[in-house]
Structure 1
Amino acid sequence: MATTSSTLWNAVVLRTGKGAQGMLDTGVMVLFGEPVPEALSDICIVHNRGGRSPLASQRNLLPGDVLNLAGTRYTIDEVGEAATSNLADLGHVVVYFNSPDQSLLTGAIKVSGPPPQLPGQGAILTFEPPSNKG
Structure 2
Amino acid sequence: MTTIWNATVSRIGGDAADMIEEGVIILFGEPVPPALFDVSVVHEGAESPTREVAAGDVITFGEQTFEVTALGDKANANLAELGHVVLYVNQPDQELLPGAILATGPDVIVPAVGASISVAGA
The DSSP-based 3-state class of the residue aligned with 1:89 is helix
Superposed CA deviations along residues 24-54 of structure 1, whole A, max 9, x for unmatched, are: 122201000000001100000000041xxxx
Q: Which structure has greater strand proportion? A: 2
Q: Cα RMSD between the aligned structures?
A: 1.3
AA at the equivalent of 1:76: V
> 1:70 Cα deviation (Å)?
1.2
TM-score normalised by length of structure 1:
0.87
Q: Structure 2 stretches of 5 or more lacking a match?
A: none
Greater gyration radius:
1
The DSSP-based 3-state class of the residue aligned with 2:91 is coil
Pairing 1:90–2:88 present: no
Counterpart position of 1:66: 58
TM-score normalised by length of structure 2:
0.95
Identity of aligned residues (%): 43
Q: Structure 1 stretches of 5 or more lacking a match?
A: none
Q: Which structure has greater helix proportion? A: 2
AA at the equivalent of 1:88: A
Moved over 3 A (4+): none
Pairing 1:56–2:52 present: no
- Does structure 2 retain, via aligned residues, the 8 Å contact 1:7–1:127? yes
Q: Which has the higher contact order (CA 8 A, sep 6+)?
A: 2
C-alpha separation between the residues in 2 aligned to 1:69 and 1:117? 9
